[in-house]
Amino acid sequence: MPYTEHQPDKGGYKGSAKATIPLPFANPRMEEPTEQPADASNVAKPDSQAGKQGEKGRVRSFHFTLHTIFATADIFPDNSANITTSTSDPYTAARKALDRDGFVVLSALLFPSFDLESLRAAASRSVSAARSGKWPYIRTLPKQFPPWPQNASNGIWGVQHLLHPSNPDHLTFAKSYFDEELLRYVAALIDCDPDDLTMELYNMLVRPDHDFALRWHRDDIPATATADEELERLRKPGWHAQWNLALYDDSSLVLIPGSHKRARTDKERDADPYEPSLPDQITVNLKAGEVAFYNNNILHRGVYSCEKERMTLHGSIGTKAAGTQRARNVLQHGVGEWAKEWDLSQCRGEEWVERAKGMRERLVELGRESGDVGFFSKDE
Ligand SMILES: O=C(O)CCC(=O)C(=O)O
């Protein structure tokens, strides 16, 4: 199906800010105290850069056992994945880490069926099409939330709708989105029956044409929310899992561990939206092939350099149990408009197709039930 002129993510325009931040490298704690990291030299050094910026005088000691590291809420080792092939029951471990910290990093070795080379080749073609105006579904600078105007004169920071059937590479992306092992993690993280999983979004976050940053935000709670409103929403289940799969090393995502469970502190609330250094923030430091799942209502932002290649697949999958509560977050991206036309009977022979069919049907049903969902934050 050829894509049309219609850009579902059409919309307004708002100023942004540039921020280049030296941040503490950090990662979630390992689940099992007895497990040794692959390389102990990767354990985070005292956070000299962050110390300069925002945590002056705060000295972190690393002369304790790994057991202490796991038990210490604000210290994260500077390797990457905390869920590895040697983690016993990695699904439960991933879920516990996500619940506790609001994010979790999974080793590339847990996903042997991801074909990084094919994904990179497909990603390069999709980015070239997007940059040259041949692919209309794009995230344009300097806008943070959908809908995005198609005017790409300031460049792009994302490519939308990788699974759209008019993308010549959509089947390559589909293979990774409907990957059996990935879906096992997703079902474990949402705590739902695999047969209830619902297709949502598969986009790609890319190197912008000039340095660019997103403001601190929670995806589904406006900055204007009172503390009580924040807490009320944060106490409800998220009904989905969201992840970044890095095709190249990626240190763009910055977040505050644990902030998915609490209202903003006064300091966070009063901070500049682009504040380069908030207490306890960390950079999620992904190596190529690693997957970071994170709670989309954790306090987070993106900080992007135009000099560093970025092709990070950015997906979300929901569950039927969410009903229409999750609808706006998903359907505001315009996925409902083409998903109902996606004819998966064309893809016979691919092992992921049967899983995809049910998931796509549940998305279409969500669109039918929800009607017009509007946008989370139309103008910014
Ligand atoms: O670039 C990232 O990884 C974060 C993106 C993000 O915060 C968002 O799309 O809301």
* pLDDT score at 349: 81
Only one residue has tokens 């503490």, namely 24
Residue 130 pLDDT more than 70? yes
CA atoms of 315 and 66, how far apart (whole Å)? 32
Q: What ligand 1 atom has the least distance to the C-alpha of 139?
A: 9
DSSP 83: B
pLDDT of residue 380: 59
Q: What is the pLDDT of residue 17?
A: 24
316 forms beta bridges with 201, 242
The better pLDDT of the pair 52, 269 is held by: 269
- More confidently predicted of 132 and 75: 132
pLDDT tens track for 209-256: 999 999 999 999 999 999 999 999 999 999 999 999 999 999 999 999
- Judge if the beta carbon of residue 244 lies within 6 A of ligand 1: yes
- The answer to whether the CB of 309 is under 6 A from ligand 1 is no
Cα–Cα distance between 279 and 277 in angstroms, integer? 7
300 close to ligand 1 (CB < 6 Angstrom): yes
Residues 310-323 have a mean pLDDT of 93
CA distances from 141 to 39, 173, 315, 365 (A): 38, 24, 20, 32
- 10-14, 207-211, 308-312: segment of lowest average pLDDT: 10-14
- The residues, any chain, with a CB within 8 Å of residue 311's CB and separated by 6 or more, are 120, 123, 124, 127, 204, 205, 206, 207, 247, 248
Residue 34 scores a pLDDT above 50: no
Q: Are 260 and 297 in contact (CB under 8 A)?
A: yes
Name the percent of the chain lying above pLDDT 90: 62
| Residue 87 token pair | 């983690």
According to the 3-state scheme, what is the secondary structure of 241-306?
EEEEEECCCEEEEEECCCHHHCCCCHHHHHCCCCCCCCCCCEEEEECCCCEEEECCCCCEEEEECC
Give the up-direction half-sphere exposure of residue 287: CA atoms within 13 A in the CB hemisphere. Answer: 10
Strand order in the sheet with 197-206: 103-106, 291-294, 240-246, 311-319, 197-206, 156-159, 138-140
Q: Is the C-beta atom of 264 inside 6 A of ligand 1?
A: no
pLDDT digits (tens, 9 = 90+) for 357-375: 999 999 988 888 876 655 5
Confidence at residue 55, expressed as pLDDT on a 0 to 100 scale: 32
- At residue 213, φ and ψ (nearest 5 deg) are -145, 150
15 pLDDT more than 80: no
Residues near 351 by beta carbon (within 8 Å), at least 6 away in sequence: 180
| Residue 37 confidence class, pLDDT cut points 50, 70, 90 | very low
Instruction: List the residue whose alpha carbon is closest to atom 10 of ligand 1.
Output: 219
Length of the chain: 380
The number of angstroms, rounded, from the C-alpha of 336 to the middle of its chain's C-alpha atoms is 20
pTM above 0.85, yes or no: no
The mean per-residue pLDDT over the stretch 308-329 comes to 89
In this structure, are residues 293 and 185 in contact, taking their beta carbons and an 8 Å threshold? yes
What is the C-alpha to C-alpha distance for residues 236 and 202, in angstroms, rounded to an integer?
24
Q: Are 29 and 77 in contact, with CB atoms under 8 Å apart?
A: yes
Q: How far is the CA of 253 from the centre of ligand 1 (A)?
A: 7
pLDDT tier, 334 (very low <50, low <70, confident <90, very high otherwise): confident
Nearest Cα residue to atom 4 of ligand 1: 302
Can you give the pLDDT at residue 101? Answer: 96
Q: What is the pLDDT of residue 330?
A: 85
> CB neighbours of 93 closer than 8 A, spacing ≥ 6?
31, 32, 83, 87
Domain boundaries of the chain, sorted by first residue: 25-370
Please give the average per-residue pLDDT across 7-20, as a whole number.
Answer: 29
Judge whether 234 and 102 are in contact, CB under 8 Å.
Answer: no
How much is the pLDDT for 375? 52
* Nearest Cα residue to 210 out of 53, 16, 12: 16
How much is the pLDDT for 368?
82
Banded model confidence at residue 116, pLDDT cuts 50, 70, 90: very high
Angle of helix 170-177 versus helix 116-131 axis, rounded to 10: 130
Cα 274 to Cα 201, 255, 328, distances in angstroms = 26, 13, 25
Instruction: Tell me what the pLDDT averaged over the chain comes to.
Output: 80
The residue nearest atom 7 of ligand 1, judged by CA position, is 301
CATH topology of domain 25-370: Jelly Rolls (2.60.120)
